[in-house]
Structure 1
Amino acid sequence: MQSDTQPSDPTTVSARNFRALWAGAAVTNLADGVVKLTLPLVTVSMTDSPALVAGISVANTLPWLLFSLPAGVLADRVDRRRLIMMMAAARALVLAVLGGGVLADVLPLAGLYAGALLLGTAEVFADTTRMSVAPMVVPRNRMESAFAKLTATETVANEFIGPPLGGLLAAAGLAVAFGAGGLGYAGALLALAIMTGHYRSNRYSRSATSAPSLRADMWSGLQFVWRERVLRTLLLLAGAASACWAAWMAVIVVYAVAPGPMDLSRAEYGMLIGALGVGGVVGASAAPALTRQLGRQIVLAMSMACFTVLLAAPAISSSARLIAVTTFLGGVGAGAWNVTYSSLRALVVPDQMMGRYSGVSRLISWGSMPLGALVAGFTAELINVRAVFWGGAALCALVLAATLRTVTSPEFQRVEARATASHEPAPAQPHHF
């Protein structure tokens, strides 16, 4: 197992490469936070239909359902760093077009939807591939610490700094917010450019003249996940939770921003979403220590409990203080879950399967988001926004019960043993990650 999980090019393991990847992830997620807050605000300025407002979330997340598997296969076939750089450049270009359209007041709602779809597609390929690069730049005995740093930084940028900054920029002008997002992606491109080494999987050599078909590779990824029963179950549970989270995100802007029940301004809405990031930082930073003290089982169960609270609060109250606190707790759960599950996966899944596994993982855990947003839009349109939160809270409660059952099973103990066996102490390293 040791040989299966080593990086394809050991020279890529270095502090410089990790710092560059870390910086690129930080700037990318900062731009993501700005853009994902700006998209619904632009939509609200064009229409007051809850279904059409939720539709922008559907468009932005639909690529996770459509392209996660091909993205995972591609990540196992090409230089992973270059693919991420191409996606950063593509997103900067799309935002330049959207910003220009808003500035000239010629951007139609359909054009905004198309831009959201393109941005989401680039995100699928970039994020799926980044998950495959991380194990290639850090030694195995520092894997959990590296994932904690990446997850905490991504959460800070995407959910803590990005949304409030996006709210302030949107208050100055929606085109300004789009322009700032484009500059962020350009900065990520520069950060990744300083990484050294080759980032191809050890599955294919440059001289290979043939490779399995795209369909065969996607099928092999699905088969691998199917055989990993515990990881598969946790993925399905995460997928259900992600659908609930997407439903919350799709309609919370209608519920929060004036004239909604919470009566918040754009800037205040950005601060509310930023509470997710504050919690995410706390959860991600604390996850390694909590895992050592309590075990992965308890951390995963507590994470899902926090997420259930996130959905339940707006179902019973429109209090900005209460919803801000529960939003923070939801972020704690999300951050802790991401670090705990990602580190487990990185220790168990071989490098040559990492891209395809990441693709299947994102298909299941993120591909459910457009479905959740779609259901939320129609539910809010036909009933009311609060009904979305009631439904999400009920589903999350069921997911919590299933999580408790999974993490207490003998199968989970066996996966834990495999991860522990692969987490062998490494020789003293001259680098500090």
Structure 2
Amino acid sequence: MHSDSHPGDSTTVSARNFTALWLGAAFTNLADGVVKLTLPLLAVSMTDSPALVAAATLANTLPWLLFSLPAGALADRVDRRRLIMTMAAGRALVLAVLVGAIVLGSLPLAGLYAGALLLGTAEVFADTTRMAVVPMVVPRNRMESAFAKLTATETAANEFIGPSLGGLLAAAGLAVALGAGGVGYAGALLALAVMTGHYRSNGHPGPATKARGLLTDVREGIQYVWQAKILRTLLLVAGVASGCWAAWMAVIVVYAIAPGPMNLSRAEYGLLIGALGVGGVVGASAAPALTRSLGRRVVLAGSMASFAVLLAAPAITSSPRLVAVTTVLGGAGSGAWNVTYSSLRALVVPDQMMGRYSGVSRLTSWGSMPLGALIAGLTAELASVRAVFWGGALLCALVLAVTLRTVTSPEFRRVEARAITSHEPAPARPRRS
């Protein structure tokens, strides 16, 4: 595996462009946090079936499974900034339609699922592409700090401020909450418009080859990841953990909201979900320092251990305080993992493969989320909500064992060494690790 990424084009690497990208991500994730809390609440107001409630999360996350690969391939072909802006405008439009239907009292459950599916599809293309833009606006020697800043902001907005605000707005009305999400996407659109330069990959297909199909690009991306043994393994374990995370998210609303065992109000539920963001900000902000002092292997293994604790807690207790504490811990693990892994990936994947690699990464780490939500809904319906938490905790424990074996291997040490010492851009086709 080659170990360097393209260092960025001098016409796009600037503090202004990173700040605009950063602000766009902040607005987008703030809106995401509001919307993703509101969709299950809207489902709960329309049905008391755990499976049908979980289906809202399933519809919102299913696009990660369906479109991650083509989204990554498209990101390597088009202007990446324009693609992100198009997705922001699309999400604002979908929310406007949903708000109108709620106000008119004409939103069926199927309409909620359709809206969740469209919002999720736009998220796939926008988020996959954003990961490919970061190395284009940030100098190589500031990559880890840039990812820490971006991840902390995204986590705070998506998992703390957004859900907390969403819970308060939902108390005023679900249409109000969704409308606020639309305003957030509009703000992201304006922030991205400030960026200067062109954001097409330096290694995108030229005129003679541009007509080749997306399937060819997708196949090259899969081949690249498959040959990168360490990154491939980390992607797979992250995928399993993400599926367990989605299972938790899909049914925790049933477990938490009164008359569930935790007996929380809507606003209190928003604060519980916001606890993920509190931990995420702490974990993401501390990740660079932890990596320097403890090493990537310890940070990655510790992060995976926190996921097992997150899942196990509600299986053992319904105490809001104890569940909230472990939720903070799980969020911290997520933030630390995202920064540590993303910075490593940015240093070892070449620019012309960044979009496709990001697509494969999102497929494994996010594409497992609809599967987790589906399994969680069925398990809760046929057995119990607690059974979902127990199953997720056991899976995360198994994944932790695989992670420990991977990060202590000689191959992992070699990947880290290449990331530190390499300086020249790498071609798209990798050698075997």
TM-score (normalizing by structure 1)? 0.96
Distance 1:58 1:392 in 2: 17
Distance 1:6 1:319 in 2: 49
Kept in 2: contact 1:37–1:163 (CA 8 A) = yes
Aligned position for 2:244: 244
Kept in 2: contact 1:140–1:423 (CA 8 A) = no
User: CA-to-partner distance for each residue in 1:79-120, whole Å, 9 max, x for gaps?
Assistant: 000000000000000000011111111100000000000000
Using the TM superposition, give the Cα deviation of residue 5 of structure 1 relative to its aligned residue in structure 2, in angstroms: 1.4
- 1:185-264 aligned at under 5 Å gives the runs 185-204=185-204, 207=207, 210-264=210-264
Distance 1:16 1:135 in 2: 14
Distance 1:213 1:34 in 2: 37
User: CA-to-partner distance for each residue in 1:162-217, whole Å, 9 max, x for gaps?
Assistant: 00100000000000001000000000000000000000001136755634321111
Q: Given the alignment of the two structures, is residue 71 of structure 1 paired with residue 63 of structure 2, yes or no? A: no
Aligned position for 2:107: 107
SS in structure 2 opposite 1:6? coil
1:348 counterpart letter in structure 2: V
Aligned position for 1:6: 7
- 1:399-410 aligned at under 5 Å gives the runs 399-410=399-410
Distance 2:422 2:252 in 1: 42
- 1:38-57 aligned at under 5 Å gives the runs 38-57=38-57
Distance 1:208 1:364 in 2: 32
Q: 1:366 to 1:68 in 2, by over 3 A?
A: same
Q: Structure 1 stretch 77-86 or stretch 415-424: which is displaced more?
A: 415-424
2:239 counterpart letter in structure 1: G
Aligned position for 1:81: 81
The number of residues matched between the two structures is 423
Percent identity, aligned pairs only, is 81
SS in structure 2 opposite 1:322? helix
Kept in 2: contact 1:347–1:423 (CA 8 A) = no
Distance 2:343 2:217 in 1: 24
User: CA-to-partner distance for each residue in 1:34-85, whole Å, 9 max, x for gaps?
Assistant: 0000000000000000000000011000000000000000000000000000
Distance 1:66 1:34 in 2: 24
Distance 1:228 1:206 in 2: 26
- 1:212-361 aligned at under 5 Å gives the runs 212-361=212-361
Using the TM superposition, give the Cα deviation of residue 321 of structure 1 relative to its aligned residue in structure 2, in angstroms: 0.4
Distance 2:112 2:187 in 1: 24
Distance 2:141 2:181 in 1: 35
Aligned position for 1:184: 184
Aligned position for 2:393: 393
User: CA-to-partner distance for each residue in 1:266-306, whole Å, 9 max, x for gaps?
Assistant: 00000000000000000000000000000000000000111
Q: 1:4 to 1:309 in 2, by over 3 A?
A: closer
Q: 1:423 to 1:245 in 2, by over 3 A?
A: farther
Distance 2:17 2:7 in 1: 16
SS in structure 1 opposite 2:267? helix
Kept in 2: contact 1:72–1:359 (CA 8 A) = yes
Aligned position for 1:35: 35
- 1:15-164 aligned at under 5 Å gives the runs 15-164=15-164
SS in structure 1 opposite 2:374? helix
Distance 2:34 2:423 in 1: 37
User: CA-to-partner distance for each residue in 1:289-331, whole Å, 9 max, x for gaps?
Assistant: 0000000000000001111100000000000000000000000
Aligned position for 1:169: 169
Distance 1:29 1:6 in 2: 27
User: CA-to-partner distance for each residue in 1:314-367, whole Å, 9 max, x for gaps?
Assistant: 000000000000000000000000000000000000000000000000001110
1:126 counterpart letter in structure 2: A
User: CA-to-partner distance for each residue in 1:18-40, whole Å, 9 max, x for gaps?
Assistant: 00000000000000000000000
Kept in 2: contact 1:144–1:343 (CA 8 A) = yes
Distance 1:209 1:68 in 2: 23
SS in structure 1 opposite 2:78? coil
